[in-house]
Structures are given as C-alpha cells and as structure tokens.
Amino acid sequence: MGKVAVLGVFVADLAFRADRLPVMGETLLGHSFAMNPGGKGSNQAVAAARMGAEVTMITRLGDDNFATMADALWESDGITPHVTRDAGSYTGAAHIFVDAVSGDNAIIIAPGAAADLSPADLENARDVIEGADVFITQLEQPLDAAMRGLEIARGAGAVTILNPAPAAALPREMLALCDYVTPNETEAEALSGVKVTRVEDARRACAALKGLGVARPIITMGAQGAYLDGHGLVPAVKAGPVVETTGAGDAFNGGFAACLASGMAPEEAARVACAVAGLSVTRAGAAPSMPNRDEVMALL
C-alpha cells in the first residue's frame, strides 16, 4: 500500500456526552464518559494504517500513563513510532463535549510535550520522511515544525498533505509546499475568505487557495462529501446512523493519504476516503472509530 509519514499530536480523548454545554459557573449532569486515544496526527496515522499503509508517527510524548496508551495503540495497529520522550512534560489530552442528540462535538486540546515539537525533531526524522510516499501533517503542533516537515518531504519528492486544523493563518511559502490542503468548511473560510456552504462556494474557495500556492485543494463538507479541485464534489458515503462526528475529518485524511501512497488516482482516493469517514461516524470515539480496509471495500 505504500509508506505514509505522519507528523502530529497524540492526545488522550476525554469525551463527555450531555444534552448541552454548561454555561459558565454551572455544573451539568452528563449521560456518559469515555477515554480513548486521539489527536489529529495519531488518528490519521491509525486510519492510514488500517487502510493498509506502512505508517510512521512522528511526535513527542511525556512519560506517563497516556504515553502508555499511545504505545499500545500504535503497536496494535502496526504503526512505527518515531517519538521523543519528555519526562519533564506530559502527554497531550483533549476535552471533548459530544451533543447527545446530534452527535456533534466541541473540543479543547492541550498538546503537552508535542507542543515542543521543533524543526530539529523533523531533521531527526529526515530518513523517515524522505523514505515515505506521502507526508501528512496538521496544525496541532508548532507551525515551524510542520513547515520543516513539508520542506523535507517536498525536497525528497514525497506527496505532501496539509490538514490545516485547527484553523490558522498560514504563510504563502508554507501553502506552496503542499500538493494537497484539506480544510473543512470553517478552515477553508479562514484561509480563503470564502464562506463555504455549497458546492459553488467550495469551487471559489479552491480557486482562492490555488492563488495562494496550493497545488490541489480538497474541502471536506461533512454530510455533502468532499470537493476536489478540478473534479468537483465527491459525494459522502452513508454507512448507517450517525453516532459521533469526532474524528471524521481525520478518517478522511488518513484514508486519502493511504490511497495516494498506494498509487491510487486522487479522484478515486477521495471516493475511498469518503467511505472511510462515512464508516467512522457510525461509531463512537476517534481512533477506535477508524475502519479497516476490508470494511471500506465492502461498503464501496
């Protein structure tokens, strides 16, 4: 299936389900609590690995119980860790509020040791990045680390993917290093200035992103699917009732990266990635919701 190098963050997801968010100063009884492995980079690594790619995860962890959770997850999915341990910090954690009615979520993330990822960490991982078919990163770790990873990958001829989440202003020189940028509607608006709700909006946002140097933007549009520049809307793949949308974007990105690494055309890779995301939202959790290749192919 090819090799995928992922730069990103691992966090322990602490998910609370309730009918609504409490207002400031209020204590609210919830319906349930669950703790699972998460973090955009780690989620994408799991999604890519379960789709059959050979995956290496580049990050920093503390020396604590959450780091043990990361080790166990990556071992179970055959992911090779390229990890720096920092006993003076902590492994990241995220508070996730899940609306018990709609399944939508709101998240606070504290990256911990991964907040100290630097260009030097990427230099230390140069062999991994240069040996990959696809390099993918996000914005939960520092911008300069993501930038250096993209530079090394581009110099080695790897396909580069930036998932610009959480939304942030990005320099043109960074966007110019990206073969693909994969924002959702909110992130696309932050980068392009175009409010994205319809397919026509996505087309205009993609044109603006190309003007900033992105080779080929893809805008993920939730239940509508994903808009691939130069192709159009790739429809969402419905796999069943929506349980939780946490990790759906990561499922798409990891699936897309794995498919590109295998040599699949981007149009077909986006279609498969929509199926990966479609299956993920029928299950609770982030990393635990990622489907395997057999499930995805059976759905398609």
250 flagged as catalytic: yes
93 touches 12 (CB < 8 A): yes
Closest to 46 in 3D by CA, of 136, 130, 119: 136
As given in the structure block, the two tokens for residue 290 are 């990622």
E strand intervals along 163-251: 180-181, 216-220, 225-228, 232-235
Say which of 99, 116, 250, 294 is annotated catalytic. 250
As given in the structure block, the two tokens for residue 256 are 């897309």
Strand 91-99's sheet: what is its strand order? 32-38, 11-18, 91-99, 105-112
What is the Cα–Cα distance from 107 to 87, expressed in whole angstroms?
Answer: 26
> Alpha-carbon torsion 216, 202, 244, 66, what sign?
positive
* Residue 1: DSSP 8-state: -
> Alpha-carbon torsion 13, 16, 17, 22, what sign?
negative
Active site residues: 250
